Amino acid sequence: MSGGANTYHLPVMRYRDVAQRALVRRAVLVPAILLLLAMVATHAGALYYPLVPGSPTFVRFLVTLFVRITTVFVLTIAILRYAVGSARPAWLPDGGFSLHVLLVSFASALPALLQMQLGNFGSMLTSLLANLLSILLLAFLSPWTVAVAVEWPLAWRPTAWLHDFGRWLPQRIGWGLALLIPLGALQSLLAGLRLSETIWFWPAAVVGGLLGFLMLMIRLALDVAAYRRVAQG
């Protein structure tokens, strides 16, 4: 293999290797299992109690959504802090927790607004476009979202973590698109099959929850790899 090929391929493969090892810690196992159970249960609940304003299921949907958001953020922070050996208590909602929630919520709210502007909120195309925008925004912010969650004192300055983009951003975007877009499309396809009245509802709901969990864990691994690239630079 030529030197030019080495220059092109090795950073991408090394980034993948770092991401693969990012969450391989025994302490991560407990919050990861809890996250898996929570995401499967709340995904099934959100499908079982659809978002229909004024219907009896509307309040149940909102409760399910609140439980999902809360548990995902609490467990995500624990996973990140265990993964990097943070000095912050893994299960403590502190200033780093709050800033992480704000950053990720901002990056998630813009794609949702895009879906509403495009109309046909549940269509495959709008879901794919929203997923693409979310991947790009979260990729750009990834070192900082991890840093605010794990660093002590609070890593509130974005310029300290959003730099040296050539060392991590192309790989973070590339792996994010390659891995998360197909999984997101499959999850959207399952959600659009309208199986609520069939025997396939619960299997499809469980598979959809598993896909959501897998996508989140992949994103966290890629984010930790980007954070480590910046921290070591």
Confidence at 189, pLDDT banded by 50, 70, 90: confident
Per-residue pLDDT tens over the stretch 14-47:
888 888 888 989 999 999 999 999 999 999 888 8
Q: What is the pLDDT of residues 128-146, one digit of tens each?
A: 888 899 999 999 999 999 9
Give the pLDDT band (50/70/90) at residue 148: very high
Q: Residue 177: pLDDT above 90? A: yes
Tell me, what's the pLDDT at 120? 58
- Which residue in 208, 188, 190 sits closest to 44, CA to CA? 208
Average pLDDT of the chain? 88
Helix, strand, coil abundance in the chain, percent, nearest 5: 80, 0, 20
pLDDT at residue 207 in the model: 94
Residue 8 — pLDDT band, cuts 50, 70, 90?
A: very low
SS3 222: helix
Q: Find tokens 């991590």 and name the residue.
A: 168
**Token code pair at residue 24:** 């391989």
Return the structure tokens found at 135.
């991947």
Selection from 114-118, 161-165, 198-202 with the highest mean pLDDT? 161-165
Please enumerate in sequence order all residues whose Cβ is within 8 A of that of 65, keeping only pairs 6 or more positions apart, or say none.
42, 46
As given in the structure block, the two tokens for residue 84 are 């990097």
Using the CB atoms, write b or e for 100-114: b if 16+ within 10 Å.
Answer: bbebbeebeeebeee
pLDDT of res. 2: 36
pLDDT per residue over 91-116, tens digit each? 999 999 999 999 999 998 888 887 77
Its pTM stands at 0.89
| Spatial separation of the C-alpha atoms in residues 9 and 141, rounded to whole Å | 24
